Amino acid sequence: MKIPVLLPKIFNYPLTYISSKKDNLQKGDIVEVPFGNSKEIGVVWDKIQVTDKKIKLKKINKKIEKINLDKKMVEFIDWFSVYNIVSKGKALKMCLGGKNNFVKTENKKDFKGFVKKKKYFLNEEQKIALKDLKKLGGHFNVSVLQGVTGSGKTIVYFECIKEILKKGKQALVLLPEIFLTNQFEDRFLNFFGSKPAIWHSKITLKNKKKIWHGVNKNEIKLVVGARSSLFLPFKDLGLIVVDEEHDSSYKQDEGLIYNARDMAVARASIQNLPIILVSSVPSLETFNHIKNKKYKHTKILKRFNNYPLPETKIINLNLENLKNQYIANETIKIVDEYLKRDEQILFFLNRRGYAPFLICKNCGYKHACPNCSIYFTYHKSIDMLVCHHCGYKREIKKKCKNNKTDCNFRMYGPGVEKIFDELKVKYPKKNIEIFSSDYLSKKSESEKMFKKIQKNQIDILVGTQMISKGFNFPKLNCIVVVDADFSGKGYDLRTTEKNIQLYNQLSGRAGRFSSKSIIVYQTLTPSSETLNDLLQNNPEKFLENELLIRKSNNLPPFKRLIAMIISSRSKELSLIGAKEIKKKIQNIEGLEVLGPVDSPVFRVKKMFRTRLLLRSKSEIFIQKKLIKFLDKIRISSKIKLTVDVDPINFT
């Protein structure tokens, strides 16, 4: 009896094996098979791959008992691979854990930690929102829970999860950042009385295996995870929640490229279960679906306990004599007021390190990465130059072209470390900490930081974008945006949308438990349209206007974009390869091919990058046609083709 078995490798089709009828193998069963001179774990798939080649078929070694993939999971992987133009084997690898195969070792469930539940009382707005969400039923539909920051959206969807768990079903909550899971774990513990299973790239292999087997046997009911948790083999999934659904961190842009939010909606559709998207300012795609009545919509307009949103203050840096400092005197006066009241301050700057780039005063030399077409960022904490694309590090010293002495570098533009140093001079007796991925790379470090913030042991935080995402800091009532310049870099069509969402979230960190709070915008462009949209605090007006702009320019969500990056160690080969691919695919009906052009960051990790941009009607599943053409194209081993469906940016 012939059996199709998909292996977690680069194959886009299952291999054919034979087994006896008594094995009674079904779609989704996990098996061990011979592959070359080794043994591999694979999954019984849906269709045998037809081939003209005469191949001697090998026998399946054995069936792995007590575990399998849901038939709908097989269907999801099939759909995922076509939509994202990736091989089925690579998608399956995400599910089975690749080299560290989760199937191989079974671990008993061991997620303890019970506490007495706290009592939570919903206000009227929350009750209405919950009533709307309860109308979901047990079938597929998408609901958007929109609420101002601090309105208690989390407790509302916790109540929905509670209903699902009562029915014995499982729930998955997706978060955009792994750093958020620590604080969420505590909130879940207080509400449900027990900890959820936490899933992200930093947890141990041992814990991953426990969770994988636990969800597959329906022993673990609740998982809180980052993007990859979407591939867990749930046995009886009843609800998916995507928190901060607008967040661009849901887009994985290396390796297996996909948008976890969109794929979560697809998995919910295939498995016929409800999904809740949560946001204070929805993504433009989600807002468009709400307008077209594809998604249900419920809103919470006020903060919990009616705490007001922060006041706003614009400080025009053109009127300040800053010299070698980046914090205005007017800002310092406001900060002093809040420090006197023993409240916390956040200085926000979305630039890691100390300075974005360095230039020699004498010879004009600029430190640039030898592997990538970008400048190094100086990190004072390690006294090294770091490339934020490839991670390459270098010492700052260099001989000057004009003489034999070392270059005399001037640092341009501040990073969080520079602001930290400036604040240390102004407030030498205050407790000041940096909140960025460079400083919170380990779970122990982030947990220690959260405890210090909660206990009010930190006076001033200097943070990057990661601090804006869902953290709850009770004493934080003053936020200073060091550089409110929203011009973007010209290669991201979502720049304005992201800024509105980011700064809306950021302002929501302040005054969650206070009647008086403020967010200060330091800017050289006080008349900026984006800044004034922010001050109006009317995201719907912005989203409506942005939809009109996108429609007139044939951009998403009205058109589908697919980016193709052709990389090579030779710039010439990269361009030739792109031209050849364009020649082959430009005759596909319904497809417009733009380019080739150099990518804005035209060299990364020593590879030159040329870009094609494909445009089609959003309602056409153009990927199916594209796959057929790509399967026929022979690509030189000297070039690498990367396909990004629904790109977030165009670097």
In sequence order, what DSSP letters do the residues of 237-288 get, joined into one string? EEEEEETTTT-GGGEE-SSS-EEHHHHHHHHHHHTT--EEEEESS--HHHHH
* Greater model confidence, 245 or 438: 245
Tell me what the mean pLDDT of segment 513-541 comes to: 83
Q: What is the pLDDT of residue 299?
A: 94
Q: What is the pLDDT of residue 51?
A: 78
pLDDT band at 107 (very low <50, low <70, confident <90, very high): low
A 10 A CB-CB count for 540 gives 13
| CATH superfamily membership of 559-645 | Ribosomal protein S10 (3.30.70.600)
Measured CA distances, 393 to 280, 368, 375, 377, 396 (Å): 38, 11, 12, 10, 10
Q: What is the pLDDT of residue 430?
A: 95
At position 163, the amino acid (one-letter code) is E
Q: What is the pLDDT of residue 181?
A: 67
Are the C-beta atoms of 108 and 279 separated by less than 8 Å?
Answer: no
CATH 3.40.50.300 assigned to 307-354+414-546: yes
Q: What is the pLDDT of residue 609?
A: 94
Q: pTM to 2 decimals?
A: 0.90
pLDDT digits (tens, 9 = 90+) for 407-427: 888 777 788 889 999 999 999
Q: What is the pLDDT of residue 67?
A: 93
CA dihedral 555, 557, 560, 565 (to 10 degrees): 70
Q: How far apart are CA 423 and CA 406, in angstroms?
A: 29
Tell me what the mean pLDDT of segment 451-471 comes to: 80
Q: What is the pLDDT of residue 143?
A: 97
CB-based burial of residue 384 (10 Å sphere; 0-12 exposed, 13-18 middle, 19+ buried)?
A: middle
Q: Using the predicted structure, report yes or no on whether residue 189 has a pLDDT greater than 90.
A: no
| Strands, E assignment, 337-412 | 344-348, 357-360, 377-379, 384-386, 393-394, 409-412
pLDDT digits (tens, 9 = 90+) for 580-616: 999 989 989 999 999 999 988 889 999 999 999 999 9
pLDDT band at 441 (very low <50, low <70, confident <90, very high): low
pLDDT band at 368 (very low <50, low <70, confident <90, very high): confident
pLDDT digits (tens, 9 = 90+) for 236-249: 999 999 999 999 99
Q: Which two tokens stand for residue 36?
A: 């070359």
Q: Using the predicted structure, report yes or no on whether residue 302 has a pLDDT greater than 60.
A: yes
Q: Using the predicted structure, report yes or no on whether residue 117 has a pLDDT greater than 90.
A: no
* Greater model confidence, 322 or 270: 270
Q: What is the pLDDT of residue 414?
A: 81
Q: What is the pLDDT of residue 110?
A: 57
pLDDT band at 470 (very low <50, low <70, confident <90, very high): low
Tell me what the mean pLDDT of segment 108-132 comes to: 78
Tell me what the mean pLDDT of segment 461-482 comes to: 81
pLDDT digits (tens, 9 = 90+) for 162-176: 999 999 999 999 998
pLDDT digits (tens, 9 = 90+) for 9-38: 988 999 999 998 778 899 999 999 999 899
Q: Which two tokens stand for residue 389?
A: 């694309």
Q: What is the pLDDT of residue 488?
A: 55
Extents of the domains making up the chain: 2-96, 124-303, 307-354+414-546, 559-645
Q: Using the predicted structure, report yes or no on whether residue 71 has a pLDDT greater than 90.
A: yes
Q: What is the pLDDT of residue 303?
A: 84
Q: What is the pLDDT of residue 112?
A: 55
Tell me what the mean pLDDT of segment 428-455 comes to: 77
**Mean pLDDT of all residues in the chain?**
88
| CATH superfamily membership of 124-303 | P-loop containing nucleotide triphosphate hydrolases (3.40.50.300)
Mean pLDDT is lowest, of 125-134, 515-524, 562-571, for 515-524
DSSP 8-state secondary structure symbol assigned to residue 235: S
A 10 A CB-CB count for 599 gives 22
Q: What is the pLDDT of residue 388?
A: 79
Q: How far apart are CA 158 and CA 142, in angstroms?
A: 17
Tell me what the mean pLDDT of segment 214-219 comes to: 94
Helices (H), 391-536: 416-426, 443-454, 495-507, 529-536
Mean pLDDT is lowest, of 112-121, 287-296, 446-455, 470-479, for 112-121
3-state secondary structure of 375: strand
Tell me what the mean pLDDT of segment 550-573 comes to: 94
pLDDT band at 309 (very low <50, low <70, confident <90, very high): confident
pLDDT band at 325 (very low <50, low <70, confident <90, very high): confident
* Greater model confidence, 464 or 297: 297
The domains spanning 124-303 and 559-645 adopt the same CATH topology: no
Q: What is the pLDDT of residue 444?
A: 61
Helices (H), 84-202: 88-96, 124-134, 153-166, 180-192
Tell me what the mean pLDDT of segment 525-535 comes to: 82
Are the C-beta atoms of 352 and 416 separated by less than 8 Å?
Answer: yes
3-state secondary structure of 191: helix
- Which H, E and C letters describe 542-573, residue by residue? HHHHHHHHHHHCCCCCCEEEEEEEEEECCHHH
Fold assignment, 2-96 = GIY-YIG endonuclease (3.40.1440)
Run of H or E residues at 331: helix 329-340
Q: Using the predicted structure, report yes or no on whether residue 109 has a pLDDT greater than 60.
A: no
Q: What is the pLDDT of residue 26?
A: 93
